[in-house]
Amino acid sequence: MKLSLAIQPFAAAFILAAAVSLSADVIRYQAAPGSKIKLDGTSTVHDWTVESGTIGGYIEFQSDVPLDPSLSKTEVNVTPKVEVIVRVSSLKSGKSLMDDIMHDNLKMQDHPLIKYSLKEMKPKEHKAGEPFQFDTKGDLTVAGITKPIDMVVTLTPMEGNKLKATGSKEVKMTDFGIKPPSPTGLGFLVKTADEVKVTFEWVTARKDIKKTASTN
């Protein structure tokens, strides 16, 4: 009986710790106005740019994740869930003919969304007072084909409980089964380079905190 009484406090502590680990606060940042994604490429005629001012999706952090620029790298423990979407129809060049060719090559009718999903995020060396930079790995889906992609992403806290993610990456159209456009009927030959530089500024705003089952 004495042994049983001695064990009880430890058992209670274990049960309490287990209960705490079963749930955790999740902070969700939802896509907000002020975002921009830009695609830059070249052709035998001229350089070209298409843009969209709308980036959808969300970021979810565990509540104990600090993103205070005054902190050091060792104080950052980020394990976010990130899903990003861009509507192909929102990408515009300002020229209707080019937009039609681009949307057709991106197979917009069958695959209206460009999607990105984060798989891994590791903090880079960081100095106090500077925005946080991360080495990231994720999956990018374009025209129905998904490919792994790695890039450096900067996260910057903003006023009004907002968070801005910025980055850039060069990709190849052919990696996603897209043949670089070579439009005919213009009276001269146009060839588009395979490489496209993608640059983004994604603004998100904190929306809610919820309870979710822990993955630990």
Q: Which of 13-22, 71-80, 201-210 has the lowest mean pLDDT?
A: 13-22
- Looking at residue 14, its pLDDT comes to 35
- Looking at residue 70, its pLDDT comes to 73
Q: Is the pLDDT of residue 100 over 60?
A: yes
- Looking at residue 9, its pLDDT comes to 38
Q: Is residue 62 part of a domain?
A: yes
Q: With H, G, I as helix, E, B as strand and everything else as coil, classify residue 121.
A: strand
Residue 59 lies in domain: 25-210
Q: What is the C-alpha to C-alpha distance for residues 163 and 181, in angstroms, rounded to an integer?
A: 36
- 71 vs 158, more confident: 158
Q: Is residue 15 part of a domain?
A: no
Q: What is the C-alpha to C-alpha distance for residues 15 and 89, in angstroms, rounded to an integer?
A: 53
Give me the mean pLDDT over the 128-146 stretch.
93
Average pLDDT, whole number, for the chain?
A: 83
Give me the mean pLDDT over the 182-200 stretch.
79
Q: Is the pLDDT of residue 94 over 80?
A: yes
Q: What is the C-alpha to C-alpha distance for residues 94 and 145, in angstroms, rounded to an integer?
A: 27
Q: Is residue 89 part of a domain?
A: yes
Q: Is residue 17 part of a domain?
A: no
Total number of domains in the chain: 1
- Looking at residue 208, its pLDDT comes to 66
Q: Is residue 1 part of a domain?
A: no
Rounded alpha-carbon distances, angstroms, from residue 190 to 43, 175, 180, 185, 186: 7, 21, 10, 10, 8
Q: Is the pLDDT of residue 75 over 80?
A: no
- Residue 17's closest CA among 167, 161, 216, 193? 216
Map 31-74 to HEC letters.
ECCCCEEEEEECECCCCEEEEECCCEEEEEEECCCCCCCCCCHH
- Looking at residue 40, its pLDDT comes to 97
Q: What is the C-alpha to C-alpha distance for residues 149 and 23, in angstroms, rounded to an integer?
A: 31
Centroid of chain to Cα 88: 16
- Residue 117's closest CA among 134, 142, 92? 142
Q: Is the pLDDT of residue 97 over 80?
A: yes
Burial profile 166-185: b = 16 or more Cβ within 10 angstroms, e = fewer = bbebebebeebebebbebee
The tens digit of pLDDT for each residue in 104-127 reads 999 999 999 999 999 999 988 877
Q: What is the C-alpha to C-alpha distance for residues 167 and 36, in angstroms, rounded to an integer?
A: 11
Give me the mean pLDDT over the 15-29 stretch.
56
Q: Is the pLDDT of residue 16 over 80?
A: no
Which residue reads 């460009």 in tokens?
114
Give me the mean pLDDT over the 132-136 stretch.
92
Nearest-5° angle of CA 58, CA 26, CA 64? 115
* CA distance between the termini of the chain: 35
- Looking at residue 194, its pLDDT comes to 96
Give me the phi and psi of 172, to 5 degrees please. -110, 135
Q: What is the C-alpha to C-alpha distance for residues 164 and 34, in angstroms, rounded to an integer?
A: 9
To the question of pTM greater than 0.75 for the whole model, the response is yes
Q: What is the C-alpha to C-alpha distance for residues 203 and 184, in angstroms, rounded to an integer?
A: 39
Q: Is residue 215 part of a domain?
A: no
Percent of the chain having pLDDT more than 90?
59
Q: Is residue 11 part of a domain?
A: no
CATH number, residue 114: 2.40.128.110
Q: Is residue 52 part of a domain?
A: yes
